[in-house]
Amino acid sequence: MGFIQVSRGTRDILPDEVIYWQHVEATARQLLHQAAYRELRTPIFEQTNLFERGIGEATDVVGKEMYTFKDRGDRSITLRPEGTAGAVRSFIENKLHAQGGVQRLWYIGPMFRYERPQAGRQRQFHQIGLECLGSTDARADAEVIAIASQLLNALGVSEWKLSLNSLGTTEDRQRYREALVNYLNDYKDDLDTDSQDRLKRNPLRILDSKDPQTQHIAQSAPSILNYLGPDSKKHFDQVQQLLTDLGIDYQLTPSLVRGLDYYTHTAFEFELDGLGSQATVCGGGRYDGLVSELGGPETPAVGWAIGMERLIMLLQNAEIALNQSLDFYCVARGPEAEAQALLICQNLRKNGFSVEMDLSGSAFGKQLKRANRSGAIACLILGDTEACDRTVQLKWLASGEQESIAQADLSDLTSQLQNKLNAAKANSST
């Protein structure tokens, strides 16, 4: 019988890659804490109508990509395809709006869409997202964009491009929709099949088509920026000025519409070089009508989500080195020495050191070879002599320097050991 393989569209994240995930998560967690965003954890599956009402039944996400099934109670359940709808549902259900003021929330976790798997796009994928609920102020738009740019910069990703657009109000968008349909009707037979279907149910999505001929037609389409009402234009002008004041470069992209129906006013995307067709790593915008659409009070909001797979793929391609050095590798030979080694390792771990203990029981030569391959700064060596004397041999692997230390003194030497480790790490990195 053959072994069972991972399901199509999912993948294992192995230890050598996990360090990148941990780095991104830790960097985001610290930065979002500094910006007063609080973490929210919502269920991985929700009632299907949450996404039908929130995202829009005419979208590709709802129409083609959701993992939807009936549970044993004959209820329609969907694995979350994105994070905003669930965050808003939680905001309403738990009456976070009753706390007053602005609610700054963020989340992290897996999402699910039935798409053709490719590099940077899986059927189970992961996002970090934030939502700022309760403010119509253009500064909220600028703040969330600034946080996204700060996170990318903090991760060493500086070659990004910010595309910016405004979708205006529902009324603005309806006026633009009519003008766009009038224009596209003249080219209906030249549009790709998906765009011909979208012409009736979601014409703005045609602007985001990847079909070359449709893209050529869309280039001459009317611009939504010419259909913004006075208030929408004022808001968008303010956002642009604030980004300029922050020193954040952007490019006006009237064809940027995003793939979800709930967006209003500001829409934006961050694209990265080196990712090919999957260049968009962060996308978001304002969604002032979503909270009320899902049964809550009128609440303006703006947010974004970052695709972690694409971001981590770029970090790996750029060969950005992450420090995951091991402090000590412990080798022992003989029953008494091995028992003492376990105690020594646990005590060092309690004092904050990272320690790997060799469990092979093989000869010292083989264990020391593994110690050299482990990336550890130093090696702890115990044999029959050390077990009898209650000592340990401490060998600094880079220099080969070795010294004998009483086991009882190891806990008292914590600061000295830490200083020596830091010095050894500094020498190895220069």
Please tell me if the domain spanning 15-168+228-317 has the same topology as the one spanning 326-429. Answer: no
Across the range 107-118, mean pLDDT stands at 92
Please report which confidence band the pLDDT of residue 127 belongs to, taking 50, 70 and 90 as the band edges: very high
As a three-state string, the secondary structure of 86-137 is HHHHHHHHCCHHHHCCCEEEEEEEEEECCCCCECCECCEEEEEEEEEECCCC
pLDDT of residue 120: 74
Query: Residue ranges per domain, the chain?
Result: 15-168+228-317, 326-429
Quick: pLDDT tens for 226-238: 999 999 999 999 9
d(CA 242, CA 139): 7
Pairing of strands 124-133, 160-166: unpaired
Q: pLDDT digits over 27-70, tens only?
A: 999 999 999 999 999 999 999 999 999 888 777 788 889 999 99
Which pLDDT score, from 0 to 100, does residue 423 have? 76
Tell me what the mean pLDDT of segment 424-428 comes to. Answer: 69
230-277 pLDDT per residue, tens: 999 999 999 999 999 999 999 999 988 876 678 899 999 999 876 665
User: 185 Cβ partners below 8 Å, 6+ apart?
Assistant: 199
The pLDDT tens digits of the residues spanning 288-297 come to: 999 999 999 9
Residue 42 in contact with residue 90, Cβ under 8 Å? Answer: yes
Average pLDDT over residues 390-405: 93
Question: Residue 328: pLDDT band by 50, 70, 90 thresholds?
Answer: very high
Contact at 8 Å (CB) between 281 and 271? yes
Find the range with the poorest average confidence among 115-119, 145-149, 358-362.
115-119
Q: What is the pTM of this model?
A: 0.87
Q: Tell me: the pLDDT tens digits for 349-390? A: 998 899 999 999 999 999 999 999 998 999 999 999 999 999
Residue 194: the pLDDT is 82
Name residue 251's beta-bridge partners: 163
pLDDT at 274: 62
Indicate if the pLDDT at residue 422 is higher than 90: no
How confident is residue 128, by pLDDT bands cut at 50, 70 and 90?
very high
What are φ and ψ of residue 301, in 5° steps? -160, 155
- 259, burial (CB in 10 Å: exposed 0-12, middle 13-18, buried 19+): middle
Indicate the CATH number of 15-168+228-317 among 3.30.930.10, 3.40.50.150, 3.50.50.60, 3.20.20.70.
Answer: 3.30.930.10
Q: Quick one: pLDDT at residue 259?
A: 63
On average, the pLDDT of the chain sits at 90
The CATH architecture of the domain made up of 326-429 is: 3-Layer(aba) Sandwich (3.40)
Q: What pLDDT was estimated at residue 198?
A: 83
pLDDT of residue 276: 60
pLDDT, residue 260, reads 66
